[in-house]
Structure 1
Amino acid sequence: MLRVVAGAGAQMREAAVAAADAGVKRLSDEGRPRAVVVAGIGGSGISGDVLAAVAGPTCPVPVVVHRGYDLPMWVGAADVVIGVSCSGTTEETLSAVEQAAHLGCAVVGVGAADSPLADLVGRSRGIHVPVPAGRMPRASLWALSVPLLLAGEALDILTLGGSDIDAAADRLDEIAERCRPTSEAFVNPAKQLAIELGGSLPVVWGSSDLAGVAAYRLACQLAENAKYPAISGVLPEANHNQVVMFDGRYGKGEPPGEAAGSDTAADAEGAAFFRDQLDDPVTERLRLVILRDSVEHPRVARRREASRELAEDRGIEVSELTAEGDAPLERLASLIGLPDFASVYLALLAGIDPTPIAPIVELKTRILT
């Protein structure tokens, strides 16, 4: 897995070539659609989040990521539907793309060559971009995402500067050098982050919608690579719900007290009952992980600062990573590249093989019967 993570920059460049060879630029003939719907699940579906994040708030049409079987009823011939499935066999994605073809939508596919998805898109006279075989979806993020970005540019919903992909790929190369396995932990930021995360309950917040995609990605990578729980969120939303965890059992780490605001005998009795059930000491504490975008709303920047202060006042440790680069794609790549390494290092730190995803395989087997 480390070898694949280290090759993210090369993967980005190769994906740009594959998209060009597949004729993604021909989508410009379609004109700007009413909406772009990205149908995908798991490590494939996040490519749609990447498209939406890079397109940003100035995107002239909605970019909707659809993670399910049936398309929304509003989807029609004025829309473009992009099916993304690394294996080309994901049943939810195939269902959505088949419906899109029947509705007369322009259809694009990104996934394995000679797969059911490739066949379906071909029969629908759409464009299919093949991705290399042998990598899991989570290890193919840029192979799946870059074709979507180039499709978005052809559809006139975003603008990629001529050097944006090169700059992002170079940034990933630079991160790979800093985070290489032979680099000692005290100079390796990914190993440092893995050590910080170990033994904690990570709460990962992005300080913009773009950084929120990176936060979600880190939580998913921790789950799949390190088999480790994490919660992701984005500011300002997380300040209206998740922040209250700071005063809970895994935040302050204090024994449960009287129920706040209790004003009835029933409340008091309930608090006493649960206090008896929660006498065991907490061994893991929250750790706030802030993924800080260099482009933030001024009020969100203040919220980020205040969130850190609140956490530290309660004894909650904080890790913070700041986006590097100027263009959205490079900033996003910088917030994904280093945490991807950290998720693998955390697995190795715990003696866990980061590659297997046995519960996913078992679940798929069970629903076939």
Structure 2
Amino acid sequence: MVQDMWDAGVDESILDDVVRLDAADPSGMLPQVASSARQVRESAALAREVGVDSLAADGRPRAVLVAGTGTSAAVGDALAAVAGSRCPVPVLGHNGFGLPGWVGVTDVVIAISGSGRDEAALSALEEADRRGCRTVAVGLPDSPLAHRAGRARALFLPAPVADGRPTRAGFWALLLPAVAVVRALGLLPSAAEGPEAVEAAAVRLEDLAVRCRPASETFISPAKVLALELAGSLPLLWGTTALTAAAASRAAGQLAANAGYPALLGTLPDSASLQAGVLDGPFGVRGADGGPAEDFFRDRVDDGAEPVRLRLVLLRDQAAEHPTVTRQAEAAVTAAAERAVAVTELSAQGASRLERLASLVGLFDYTSVYLALALGVDPTPVAAARDLSAPPTPAVRET
């Protein structure tokens, strides 16, 4: 099915036709992506209004655990990246049910659910209440999560996520309350990660919204250019730091959910040894010049069709890269070029970790939607996610 898309050709012309883009996006995923800056500002303001700073009264926790699935799990990875390696306590994600055995009264649990009905977040909240943990809930107001937070006397931080919209479209609305929590707990010691970082991230996302707006011509829109670079390839997304690894993970999830498009995911330095073999495999050097990879695809498509080739996408953060990782990234570019594997390098931009995260996540959010529209895919519904869900219950697992 995917190869048939390449045979038919990607519709590049739609990217320069605002009317067609609007018609192909009936649920308005592009406008939802464009709301990212507003989500940052609104969710940060709401967290202050409901008294997130009161969390400081009980002192520093032993650890912070972020519980939830789907987009909420991505928020946990992003929060750990924003906290950084110098954070005085561990900031960890948990996408299972209940809580790990080590979590206790000295820990803070943040249960996150954009819909307010995620089973994992609800079970974590209940278990945290039983164990006497300090608990914060982030999600949709007037939802099961909000009601259970009230019964548990947990701090509830409302997230401005539109009810009925995909949770993945509210990433920033869920992340900023969590960032406000770790800041209130005194776990963001760097001056660069202060409140001004929130506004800087919003400005960065606004800039992307202007540059990536539907009316921008393809050759000047970084998201449209990247979408066309990825189309027809198998992306290998490698991050070079914890922050860019979190951005790469979010990117892979968005490509899958919005465009139905697969990507391989890795982080240097591990991927330099664990995944390097793909460069020499059927999607890499063996796929060039009509070698063995041509036979690999011949039983799937008619002769003459272009095989799917690997594209190495490096997400870099030179401000935080270890020198060894920098050398590995440079070696990866050289090795890919020697194998005729295309390479895209993207650098995080900004003074704070939050702003640098925004520069990459925002770009890929737009890219995933434009890739979907160029492939003739409606970026909003994910029928397979419904098919893979458990039988209907009052709670759901989020995408």
TM-score normalised over the length of structure 1: 0.92
Contact 1:226 1:347 in 2 (8 A): yes
Counterpart residue number, 1:350: 375
Contact 1:294 1:324 in 2 (8 A): no
* Cα separation, partners in 2 of 1:131 and 1:283, compared to 1, 3 Å: same
What is the identity, as a one-letter code, of the residue corresponding to 1:311? A
What is the identity, as a one-letter code, of the residue corresponding to 1:72? P
Counterpart residue number, 1:98: 126
Counterpart residue number, 1:297: 322
Contact 1:49 1:213 in 2 (8 A): yes
Are 1:5 and 2:27 matched, yes or no?
no
Q: In structure 2, how many angstroms separate the alpha carbons of the residues matched to 1:277 and 1:111? A: 47
What is the identity, as a one-letter code, of the residue corresponding to 2:362? G
Alignment of structure 1 residues 1-369 onto 2, 5 Å: 1-132=29-160, 133-134=162-163, 135-159=165-189, 160-252=193-285, 253=287, 255-256=291-292, 280=299, 283-295=307-319, 296-366=321-391
TM-score normalised over the length of structure 2: 0.85
Q: In structure 2, how many angstroms separate the alpha carbons of the residues matched to 1:207 and 1:45? A: 20
RMSD after superposition: 1.7
1:199-253 per-position Cα deviation (integer Å, ceiling 9, x unaligned)? 0001111111100001001100000000100111111111121111000001111
* Cα separation, partners in 2 of 1:153 and 1:285, compared to 1, 3 Å: same
Aligned length: 351
1:40-88 per-position Cα deviation (integer Å, ceiling 9, x unaligned)? 1011221111110011000111111000103111111110100000011
Q: In structure 1, how many angstroms separate the alpha carbons of the residues matched to 2:247 and 2:276? A: 19
Contact 2:297 2:307 in 1 (8 A): no
Contact 1:208 1:234 in 2 (8 A): yes
Greater relative contact order (Cα 8 A, min sep 6): structure 1 or 2?
2
Q: Secondary structure at the match of 2:389?
A: helix
Q: Secondary structure at the match of 1:364?
A: coil
What is the identity, as a one-letter code, of the residue corresponding to 2:59? G
Q: In structure 2, how many angstroms separate the alpha carbons of the residues matched to 1:39 and 1:278? A: 41
1:313-334 per-position Cα deviation (integer Å, ceiling 9, x unaligned)? 1010011111111111111100
Q: In structure 1, how many angstroms separate the alpha carbons of the residues matched to 2:84 and 2:65? A: 15
* Cα separation, partners in 2 of 1:47 and 1:278, compared to 1, 3 Å: closer
Superposed displacement of residue 162, structure 1: 3.1
1:116-169 per-position Cα deviation (integer Å, ceiling 9, x unaligned)? 111111111111111233332211111000011110011111143231100110
Q: In structure 2, how many angstroms separate the alpha carbons of the residues matched to 1:74 and 1:365? A: 29
Superposed displacement of residue 365, structure 1: 4.9
Superposed displacement of residue 364, structure 1: 2.0
* Cα separation, partners in 2 of 1:284 and 1:180, compared to 1, 3 Å: same
What is the identity, as a one-letter code, of the residue corresponding to 1:148? A
1:162-186 per-position Cα deviation (integer Å, ceiling 9, x unaligned)? 3110011001100111111101111
Q: In structure 2, how many angstroms separate the alpha carbons of the residues matched to 1:210 and 1:69? A: 26
Contact 1:256 1:278 in 2 (8 A): no
Contact 1:44 1:144 in 2 (8 A): yes
Superposed displacement of residue 278, structure 1: 7.1
What is the identity, as a one-letter code, of the residue corresponding to 2:176? V
Contact 2:282 2:296 in 1 (8 A): no
Q: In structure 2, how many angstroms separate the alpha carbons of the residues matched to 1:91 and 1:177? A: 37
Q: Secondary structure at the match of 1:249?
A: coil
What is the identity, as a one-letter code, of the residue corresponding to 1:177? V
Superposed displacement of residue 338, structure 1: 1.0
Contact 2:188 2:194 in 1 (8 A): no
Q: Which runs of 5+ in 2 are unaligned?
A: 1-28, 394-399
Q: In structure 1, how many angstroms separate the alpha carbons of the residues matched to 2:76 and 2:134? A: 17
Q: In structure 2, how many angstroms separate the alpha carbons of the residues matched to 1:123 and 1:30? A: 20
* Cα separation, partners in 2 of 1:112 and 1:162, compared to 1, 3 Å: closer
* Cα separation, partners in 2 of 1:122 and 1:186, compared to 1, 3 Å: same
Q: Secondary structure at the match of 2:62?
A: coil
